[in-house]
Amino acid sequence: MSTTPKISIVFFGSSRFSVIVLDELMKLGHTPSLIITTPDKPQGRKLTLTPNVVKQWAINHNITFLDPAKLDSTLIERLKYCGSDEPPAADTIGKNQLHIVASYGKIIPSGVINIPQFGMLNIHPSLLPKYRGPSPLGTAILDDEKRTGVTIMKIDEQMDHGPIIAQIPVNITEWPIYEEFEELMARKGAQLLAETIPGWVDGDIVERPQDHSTATYTQKITKEDALIDISDPQADRYQNFRKIQAYHEWPQAYFNTERRGQKIRVKITDATYAGDILTIKKVVPEGAKEMLYEDFVRGLK
């Protein structure tokens, strides 16, 4: 019979990946009691301060949240008693707490890592130690790494470095757009975490160190990474297709061309690849709305 205590989950996240994980965890009976996310940011032409999608999710589900600019001593004190305004007895600090991280985007200090009784677990969408760092999903598409997966790891003070708690492979047959790949991996990760929590809390799961000698690292994506040359007959069409899929959400693959004597940037929003033929279907020319690629080409003549 399981001796699993009732645990209090504190969730750290700030992106759509985080929200997909939260939706799945709620469905599976692991709704967090406290959410830590990032502060509102200015958006739009008027630079209106706007909450991120995780904060909005917390508001919509009436879940307590904190959105500190820094993970400092003030936050650490709040975390020790799971967001309550009343300090706990010394012997109850962090008791029955489990911290979960899914795409939070900040380095987490040891003062936070060491609070929860059951540690801090991270959902990372790759088969660690491969693809540590900020862009494992996009990099998998770019590298055509169709045998990928999800890792639940215990966080330490180095990036994606901690011991592995659980892993599952995910095999891809054809590359979807980034958003669809992200949703698949987020749901797989949340499901794996939900399956793992009881055994982890009961002490039935033994963590295993990563083989750091085989670690690979991903880089932060820049707008310049998304440039492709569709006019080059020697260009790798399949690689260009993977760029379109990997950068579909941001920064969006693009090419440069001329229209009425002016150089413009054209973003590619929809494309297919089959038989070594890359077919661009929809684009967003600079200063215009999305249109069929064939209509855009016709307008250049």
- Cα 141 to Cα 170: distance, rounded to the nearest angstrom: 13
Half-sphere exposure at residue 27, Cβ-oriented, CA atoms within 13 angstroms: 10
Residue linked to tokens 């499901």: 191
Return residue ranges of the chain for CATH 3.10.25.10. Answer: 223-300
List per-residue pLDDT tens for the chain, 301 residues long. Answer: 445 567 899 999 999 999 999 999 999 999 999 999 999 988 878 888 899 999 999 999 999 999 999 998 888 887 876 655 565 555 566 778 999 999 998 889 999 999 999 999 999 999 999 999 999 999 999 999 999 999 999 999 899 999 999 999 999 999 999 999 999 999 999 999 999 999 999 999 999 999 999 999 999 999 999 999 888 877 899 999 999 999 999 999 999 998 888 899 999 999 999 998 999 999 999 989 999 999 999 887 6
For 245-276, give one letter per residue: b (16+ CB within 10 A) or e.
Answer: bbbbeeebbbbebeeeeeeeebbbbebebeee
Enumerate the β-bridge partners of residue 168: 150
CATH topology for 8-214 is Rossmann fold (3.40.50)
Return residue ranges of the chain for CATH 3.40.50.170. Answer: 8-214
Whether 283 contacts 296, CB under 8 Å: yes
To 5 degrees, how large is the angle CA 175–CA 283–CA 186?
Answer: 35
- Cα 301 to Cα 299: distance, rounded to the nearest angstrom: 5
CATH of 223-300, one of 3.40.50.970, 3.65.10.10, 3.30.70.3270, 3.10.25.10: 3.10.25.10
Nearest to 153 by CA among 182, 124, 130: 124
| Non-local CB neighbours of 276 within 8 Å, separated by 6+ positions | 237, 238
Residue 216 burial (CB count, 10 A): 14
